[in-house]
Structure 1
Amino acid sequence: MVVGDIATGTDVLIIGAGPGGYVAAIRAAQKGLDTTLVERDSYGGTCLNVGCIPSKAFITAADLADEVSNAEHMGISADPAVEMATMTEWKDGVVDQLTSGVEKLCKANQVNLLKGTATFADENKVRVAHGGEGQGSESIEFKHAIIATGSRPIQIPNFAYADEPVWSSTDALAATEVPDKLVVVGAGYIGMELSTTFAKLGSDVTVIEMLDDVLPGYEDDVSRIVRKRAESLGIEFNFGEGASGWEETDDGIVVTSETEDGEESSYEADKVLVAVGRSPVSDTLELENAGVETDDRGFITTDDRTRTNVDHIHAVGDVAGEPMLAHAASKEGIVAAEVIAGEPAAMDVQAIPAAVFTDPEIGTVGLTEAEAADNGFEPVVGEMPFRASGRALTTGHTDGFVRIVADEPTGFVLGAQIVGPEASELIAEVTLAIELGATIEDIASTVHTHPTLAEAVMEAAENAQGQAIHTLNR
C-alpha cells in the first residue's frame, strides 16, 4: 500500500491508455525508452470500453436479429427473441478480452503501468492520485509527456446523465433492457448508429435534431440513403428542433423540444439518449501548471509532430481535436513516440479514412468532388451503384454506391465516398491508393476477385474513365 507521496522518474510519461496512449506507450518502449502509462479507469480507453468496440458488438447483434426477422424472400422465416441482458454480457466479454489484451501487450513490452489520476505539477512533473481511501499519491518526473486523455459525451442543459432516464452513449451501451420508447437527441454518427441499433432490437425510436438532416458533414446523397433506411425501420425524425427538457410521468417520461421560432413539441419515452457530440478531457489535468495551452473549447493545439506549445509535452487523440477517430489517435501515438525517440516522424499521411456504422455503412476518405474543385483540382468522378453488383444482390443489401474522385489531368485518386454494405472495409483500398499516389487507372486495371463487393470499387474507377462494363458510363 502506498501512503503519502513518493517520487519516481521516467523518460516518457503517458496519461491515458486509450488507442492513442497505449499505442504510444508500446512504441516508446520498443524504442528503448523507459515508459510509464497512467490510466485512471480501464485500459483501452473510451474506444474499447464504452465506444467503438461495444457499439459495434451491439450493431452486429442487432443486424443479425433484423436479418433473420426479414428473410422471408430468401425462404427463411424466424422471429428471434432479444435478451438484452445476455447480449450485454456477451458484449462485455468481448470488451474484457480486448482490454486484458492491451494490458498484457503493455507489460510484454516493458511498459510501467500505473493506476490513478494524473495532474501536472509543473512542466516536468505530474502527481498521480491513486484510487481508494488511504492509497495516497506519488510524483513522477518525466523528460517527455504524452497527453492522451480522450473525450467525454457532451451534456446539454436539463439533461443530466446522473438522472436515471437520461442516457449518454456509455449508458446506452450498458443497457440490460430494450426500452419500448426511446427518444434520441442528435442525428450525428453516434445518434444514428444507436438509433438504428435500438430500432432493430425493438424500440420505438424518435430522433430530435436541430439541423435539417442526419449526419451533418456528409454529402446529401450519402446521408439521404441512411435516413431513408432508418425511416424504413420506423424511426421518426423531427428536424429543426432542440431538446429543452424532460419530466417524469406515470408511464415513463415526456421529452420536450423547441424550434428556433419557439414552437414546442413533446414526445413520450422510457429513456432519452443524448448524442450531441464529445468534448475533450483536458480540464482535469491542471495544464496551466505545465504551461500547456488549449483553444476556447478545451482542445490542446498541436503541430504535425504532435507537440504542444511546450515542446517536450505532446498530445494525441480526441483531446487534440479533429479528426476524433481511434485509428487517427493510434497513428498520432506512434508519431509522438518516434519524435520523442529522435526520429524524423510526422503526421504526413495523405488521407485518414472515416466510417459510420449505420445501415447501410458509410466509408469516406480524402476529398469530395466539391472539395477537390475548391482545392484547385479538375475533378473527374466515377460511380458504381450496389444495385448493379452481383455480390450485393446475393446479400440482399443493394442500397448505396461507390464514388471515386480523381484529378482528371493526372489521374491521381483524391478521395472516395462509399455508402453501402461493408463500406467501412471497402474504403481501405482507396485509402491505400491515395497514400501510394495511385491513379484511377491503377485501380481500374487491378484484377478484383469475383464475385465480391470490392469489384464495385474497380467499376467506379472504370466509370471515371468512361469505360465501365457493368454500369452506364457518366
Structure 2
Amino acid sequence: MSEYDIIVLGGGTGNAVANASVDAGLDTALVERGRLGGTCLNRGCNPTKKLIHRADVAESIRHADELGIDASVDGVEFAAIVDDVIKTVTEAAEEKARRARNRSGLTFYQAEGRFVGPHTVEVDNNNGPRGERFTAEKIVLAGGSRPMVPDSIDGTDETPYLTSDEALRLDALPDRLVVVGGGYIAVELSHFFSQMGSDVTIVGHGDVLADREDAAIAERLTEAYREKHELHLGFEATAIADEDGERIVTAESEGGEEIDVRGDRLLIATGRKPNSDVWNVSAAGIETDGKGFVETDEYLRTSVEGVYAMGDIAGNYMFKHSGDKEAKYVVENAIRGNERSVEYPGMAHAIFGSPQVASLGRAEDDLDEDTDYEVGTCAYDDTALGAALRDQGGFAKAIVGNDGEVLGCHVVGPEASTMIHEVSTAVAAGADAEQIAETIHVHPAISEVVQGAFRDVCDVAPAGL
C-alpha cells in the first residue's frame, strides 16, 4: 500500500491545497472523480455566470426602448451559447488536469475514491471492483456537494427531470420550463432561461423567493420576478409525473390547496447536499451533523486526528470564495504546521438574478430582540446614476449597531454583486458605519447607493437643499 505525506480528496478548491503541498516538498496525492475545478468551474459559478451574462445582455436590449433606443432581440442561438460556455470551462478543466499529471511530487487519481479507514483511501481502477489503496498521516477532505432532490417528492424515479448540473448543458431551449425551488439556484437559472426565450414557472415553498435573505430584499426580488414569471409560492412540491412528454408538478400549500403545473422540461433546484456519503466518511470515523456536513473545529480539523475538511462538505459557508479562504487556513494548519483559527472577515454573497441581490452580515429578522440597532436605506432612484438605470425598485439597506458596528448590508438592484464589496472591504478593515458614510465616493458612481444607506443611518446628509 502506497504512503503519501498528504492526500487531498476533491479537486475543486482542494486543488489549491494540493499545489501548495507540492510546493512545500510534500509527496502529495490528489483524488477527483470528475474534472478538476470542481463544481465551481464545471457545474456552478463559472458556467452559470457566463450564461447569465448573455441573459443580462438580452434583457438590456429588450428594455432599450425605455431609454429611447430602438433595438430588439431577433433571435437567440441557444445551443451555440451553451456550447461556447461549456467548451471554455471544459478546456480550462482539462488544462488543470494536464498540469496535475505533469507536476512532479503530485500523483493525480482521476477516479472514484472513498475512505476505508481513518487514514486510508481506496480508488477505483480498471482491474476489477477493488482498487488501489493508499494512506497518509494527513488528509484534506474537500469533497464538495451535489444537487439535492427531496425524498418527499414522489415520482422522481420514473419522471425525467433536470438538476442544475444538466440544466447548464442543454442543447435545446425548453418552450416551457417549470422550476421547483425558490433559492439562489432557482432565481439565477429562471432568469437565464426566461431571457433565452423560455416561459418559466416557479414553484417554491417559501412565501418569497430567496427567503434566507433580508425580508425587505427578498420581497423586492419576488415583486420583480412576479412581473416576469408565473410564481406559485407557498407551495411544496409533492409529486412529479410525465404525461406524453409533458412534465407535471403537483404541489400543495400549507392550507391544503393543491395545484398542477405543466411544462416541457422540469428543473428541480431545491438546494445542495454534502458529498460526505460519497466519500464514505463514516468508514474513517469522521463525525457529521444531522444534514451530513462534516463537523470541524475552528482550525478546520475533523473528529479524526490529522484529517481536515473545507468547502461545501464542511458546511461553514457554501460559497466558492469562502472555500478559497478556508484553503489558505488548511495550508497553514495541515501543511505548514501552524494553528490558525479560520476567520471570514467581511464575508458576503450574491445572487446573480434580475435584479441582483448581495448581502453581508445579518438580516434584520435574524437580530436578537435586545439588539440595539438602526436601519438606513437608499433607493437607486435617489442617486444620479442610479436614476439613469432602468428602474427595478432597487435599494441598499444598512443595519448598524448603536456603537457604529456594521451588523448587515443588503442590496437589491443592478450591480449589487459588485457594490457589496466596498462594505466587505470596510468591515474586513475594521471600519465602522460612519467611516463608510464619510468616505469620498466618485460622483456619480452607482456605489453612491450604498453610501446613501449609510449616510441615512448615520444622519450624514449631503450638502444642499
Q: TM-score of the superposition, structure 2-length normalised?
A: 0.92
User: Which of the numbers 37, 53, 73 marks the counterpart of 1:60?
Assistant: 53
SS at match of 2:417: helix
The question of 1:420 aligning with 2:413 is answered yes
The change in CA–CA distance for 1:94 and 1:387 in structure 2 (over 3 A counts) is farther
Match of 1:95 among 74, 86, 89: 89
- CA distance in 1 between counterparts of 2:341 and 2:388 reads 44
Q: Contact 1:351 / 1:434 at 8 angstroms: preserved in 2?
A: yes
Q: Partner residue of 2:262?
A: 268
User: Cα distance, 1:333 vs. partner?
Assistant: 1.9
Q: Is 1:434 equivalent to 2:427 in the alignment?
A: yes
Are 1:224 and 2:203 matched, yes or no?
no
Query: Which letter maps to 2:77?
Result: E
In structure 2, what is the equivalent of residue 456 of structure 1? 449
Residues 1:466 and 1:178: Cα distance change in structure 2 (over 3 Å):
same
Superposed CA RMSD in Å reads: 2.4
Which runs of structure 2 are paired with 1:275-314 in the superposition (5 Å)? Answer: 275-314=269-308
Using structure 1 for the length normalisation, give the TM-score: 0.90
What is the CA-CA distance between 1:291 and the residue it aligns to?
1.3
Match of 1:348 among 343, 348, 353: 343
Residues 363 and 423, structure 1, Cα contact 8 Å, conserved in 2: yes
- Give the match for residue 323 of structure 2: 329
Whichever residue aligns with residue 203 of structure 1, its letter is S
State the partner residue of 1:34: 27
Gap change, CA 1:441 and 1:281, over 3 Å in 2: same
* 1:160 aligned partner: 156
Map of 1:3 onto structure 2:
none
| Offset at residue 31 of structure 1 (A) | 3.5
1:158-237 → structure 2 map (5 Å cutoff): 158-160=154-156, 163-164=159-160, 166-233=161-228, 235-237=229-231
Aligned AA (1:34): D
Maintained 8 Å contact 2:35/2:94: no
Helix, strand or coil at the partner of 1:167: coil
CA distance in 1, matches of 2:464, 2:105: 54
Quick one: distance in 1 between partners of 2:456 and 2:95? 44
Q: Tell me the alpha carbon deviations over residues 393-439 of structure 1, each in whole angstroms, 9 at most, x when there is no partner.
A: 33425531122222223x23232111111111111111121122111
| Alpha carbons 1:381, 1:404 under 8 Å: kept | yes
- SS of 1:304's equivalent in the other structure is coil
Alignment of 1:108-187 (within 5 A): 111-130=106-125, 132=126, 137-156=131-150, 157-160=153-156, 163-164=159-160, 166-187=161-182
Matched residues in 2 for 1:467 and 1:221: separation? 23
Aligned counterparts of 1:249 and 1:13: Cα–Cα separation in 2: 48
> Per-residue deviation at 1:372?
4.7
Distance (whole Å) between structure 2 residues aligned to residue 287 and residue 113 of structure 1: 21
CA distance in 2, matches of 1:28, 1:379: 45
Instruction: Give, in angstroms, the shift of residue 47 of structure 1.
Output: 1.3
Separation in structure 1 between the aligned mates of residue 5 and residue 353 of structure 2, nearest angstrom: 42
2:463 aligned with 1:467: no
Q: 3-state SS of the aligned residue for 1:360? A: coil
Q: CA deviation at 1:85?
A: 0.7
Matched, 1:84 2:57: no
Consecutive unaligned residues of structure 2, counting only runs of 5 or more, are none
> Quick one: distance in 2 between partners of 1:464 and 1:53?
36
Alpha-carbon distance, 1:163 to partner? 4.5
Q: Structure 1: 5+ residue runs without aligned partners?
A: 1-6
* 8 Å Cα contact 1:373/1:379 also seen in 2: no
Report matched runs for 1:244-259 at 5 Å: 244-250=238-244, 252-259=246-253
> Structure 2 vs 1, CA of residues 76 and 32 (structure 1 numbering), >3 Å: closer, same or farther?
farther
Cα 1:101–1:396 change in 2 (3 A) is farther
Task: Give the C-alpha shift of residue 264 in structure 1.
Answer: 2.4
1:396 aligns with 2:396: no
Matched-pair contact (CA < 8 Å) for 1:392–1:398? no
2:36 maps to 1:43: yes
Instruction: List per-residue Cα deviations over 1:376-397 (Å, max 9, x = no partner).
Output: 6532332221112222233425
Residue deviations 1:232-273 (CA, integer Å, cap 9, x gap): 22x111122222223333462332222344432212210111
SS at match of 2:381: helix
- Inter-partner Cα distance in structure 2 for 1:93 and 1:471: 54
1:303-355 CA-to-partner distances (Å, cap 9, x unmatched) read: 11111111211111111124211111121122112111212322123342111
The letter for the 2-side match of 1:381 is V
Q: Shift in Å at residue 145 of structure 1?
A: 0.5
CA distance in 1, matches of 2:255, 2:371: 42
Return the letter of the residue paired with 1:359.
Answer: S
Deviation at 1:357, TM superposition (A): 0.9
Equivalent position to 2:378, from 371, 375, 384: 384
- 1:184 Cα deviation after fit: 0.9
Alpha-carbon contact 1:167-1:273 (below 8 Å) kept:
yes
